[in-house]
Amino acid sequence: MTESHGYTKFFPVSWEELHRHCKALAWRLLDNGTHYKGVVAITRGGMVPAAIVARELNVRVIETISCSTYNELERGTKVNVLKDATAAMPDQGEGWLIIDDLVDTGITAKAVRQLLPKAHFATIYAKPSGRPMVDSYITEVSQDTWILFPWDMEAVMSKPIVELRRQS
């Protein structure tokens, strides 16, 4: 992603950091006293966090909703639901927990909320534009930050921040 997409900062997240944040989310969800019927992972980014949270809450039933919004030409303008899990939840998601890695603009969260309006929606990371769409999150980042998740990174040499600034 580049500045042309509105991202001027990058926030790399390690596997260990992601795991700690997922466990922190599980603690927060446990403290609200709800026993969840199951977890709905928003794929693909929500799959790893959903697995960790489900393990920590001892939830064995996991469904997925597959959505796509990152199209280079129409980024964030519409959501394509590629796989819907609502057939397994005829009660509009009541008692279910939706997990995603991130709420950015809220476009995906809004589409999923329309499918499962009674579910509890939780993310690991939240940006200001999307934050009102979720019930729980752990870490807030600025809207102009691109989060580099561990599954999207490779080990390569990095430049000092000051050199990156000079290039822009």
Query: How is 35-99 classified by DSSP, letter by letter?
Result: PPSEEEEEETTTHHHHHHHHHHTT---EEEEEEE---TTTTTT--EEEE--GGG-TTTTTTEEEE
Q: Is 15 annotated as a binding residue?
A: no
* Domain range for 116: 3-167
Which range among 14-28, 67-81, 144-158 shows the weakest confidence by mean pLDDT? 67-81
Residue 139 and residue 128 in contact, taking contact as beta carbons nearer than 8 Å? no
Active site residue 104: yes
Percent of the chain scoring above 70 in pLDDT:
88
The CATH number given to whatever domain includes residue 12 is 3.40.50.2020
On whether the pTM is more than 0.85, the answer is no
135 is known as an active-site residue: no
Catalytic residue among 31, 91, 100, 152: 100
Please confirm, yes or no, whether 101 is among the known catalytic residues: yes
Helix (H) or strand (E) holding 162: helix 161-167
Total number of domains in the chain? 1
The verdict on whether residue 45 carries a ligand-binding annotation is: yes
pLDDT tens per residue, range 45-68: 999 999 999 999 999 999 999 887
Beta strands 145-148; 136-140: pairing state: unpaired
